[in-house]
Chain A
């Protein structure tokens, strides 16, 4: 860019494999751009200040809290939201399947954030123990489930991902 001051930014973003061009103010958060400019409302905004993790998305495969991520930080990076995790062939990603099977969803508001945090954790640690899971999900808050079923869902997701990887290798 340049050293000229600007009040409105034009950003070229790559979200779930698609290119978007959006205009926003410099202090616009990534979550507001995803929801209001692009219409991807799967990303939830809970506290809006980085506490609850409902707004978690992946920025270059790493989980971040999109409500406190400036939208311009996503320029040049690959953003994945909950909508980008599934595909036409697999309507639910194995992590999402595990959440359904383990009954880790009640009201569902925090679920997109938990699913993406779990996805990011399993990318970094394919076989997490209970402490790894607790640490990996410590940035997400659920007020319904009591977390136990969520931890079970992540263990189940790890098994699913590892077995599908084994099958792919064989």
Chain B
């Protein structure tokens, strides 16, 4: 096992260039230590790059009505920052039920996103926000939609020389929003299903769920079918299930039942027809 501690992004990319085998940037370290201990990651040929001193990745600021959250921002710091902030209360709630206080004190936003954790409480809510991520590489910086980051659980679409530098988070312009995680998440035990729903005149209806075979998704068929139409809820759901199955992302019977129950509660509240 090799270890580097670069002091700037340039040094970081130098380390990446020098390294062979499996290279992992390390921020809070909880996820990597957990995987090493469980032997999901092999020590042989592993290079850890400690990025904690890269101060460029620690900024947390409001810019043009959006939040720019540096990748090294601790989850607990973000939770404190979002308390009482209009447009971010759903995310604040999701952060509060994400893992436990010890993990939130340790875990970083960038690590959480790059880890593509299947049971993440945050991913579905971030998809409702239509969040973007900022990626740096030796060639410069680019922004992509968050949903393009996930490849499959625990695997992202980043190239070897790319690093998440920030999460760009527009406010969720929702008059009404709900968040629901099935089961309590403790430590590394994942919630079987996490669902988020929001509605506003400007942004319309947004529905997202997490812990599917390919990670978190927006249920766009369901959103489209339910928006202003009179198609029965059960038929809208069937079309969404069918669509997800075709995408290689089938919901389990348990998840289908939970999504039905979630939507039924929203329907009974009179939020959808």
Binding site for B on A (CB under 8 A): 1-7, 9, 25-27, 29, 48-53, 56, 59, 62-65, 67-70, 72-73, 117, 120-121, 135-136, 138-141
Chain B residue with the shortest CB-CB distance to A60: B105
Distance in angstroms from A14 CB to nearest chain B CB is 17
Distance in angstroms from B134 CB to nearest chain A CB is 24
Binding site for A on B (CB under 8 A): 1-7, 11, 14-15, 18-19, 26, 28-30, 32-34, 36-38, 43, 47-48, 50, 52, 76, 96, 99-103, 105-106, 184, 186-189
Contact A64 B102 (CB under 8 A): yes
Contact A5 B102 (CB under 8 A): no
13 contacts between A and B (CB under 8 A): A7-B2, A26-B2, A26-B3, A27-B33, A51-B186, A51-B188, A59-B106, A63-B101, A65-B106, A70-B48, A72-B50, A138-B184, A139-B102
Count of A-B contacts judged by CB separation below 8 Å: 116
Chain B residue with the shortest CB-CB distance to A28: B33
Contact of A70 among B33, B103, B188 (CB under 8 A): B33
Contact B186 A135 (CB under 8 A): no
User: In the bound complex, what is the Cα–Cα distance between A72 and B3 (angstroms)?
Assistant: 11
Contact B103 A65 (CB under 8 A): yes
With a CB–CB cut-off of 8 A, which chain B residues contact A56? 102
With a CB–CB cut-off of 8 A, which chain B residues contact A9? 3
With a CB–CB cut-off of 8 A, which chain A residues contact B18? 3, 5
User: In the bound complex, what is the Cα–Cα distance between A26 and B28 (angstroms)?
Assistant: 14
Contact B101 A139 (CB under 8 A): yes
Query: Known pairs A26-B3, A62-B76, A140-B100. 12 more at Cβ < 8 A?
Result: A1-B7, A4-B4, A50-B103, A59-B105, A67-B33, A68-B33, A68-B34, A70-B33, A70-B50, A117-B101, A120-B101, A139-B186
Contact B34 A49 (CB under 8 A): yes
With a CB–CB cut-off of 8 A, which chain A residues contact B96? 135
User: In the bound complex, what is the Cα–Cα distance between A89 and B96 (angstroms)?
Assistant: 37
**What are the 3 tightest A-B residue pairs by CB atom distance, in nearest-first order?**
A139-B100, A26-B3, A1-B5
With a CB–CB cut-off of 8 A, which chain B residues contact A49? 34, 37-38, 188
Contact B1 A73 (CB under 8 A): no
Chain B residue with the shortest CB-CB distance to A72: B50
Contact of B33 among A50, A52, A120 (CB under 8 A): A50
Contact B188 A50 (CB under 8 A): yes
Distance in angstroms from A75 CB to nearest chain B CB is 9
Distance in angstroms from A58 CB to nearest chain B CB is 9
With a CB–CB cut-off of 8 A, which chain B residues contact A117? 101-102
Contact of A139 with B99 at beta-carbon distance under 8 Å, contacts A9-B3, A49-B37, A51-B186 already known: yes
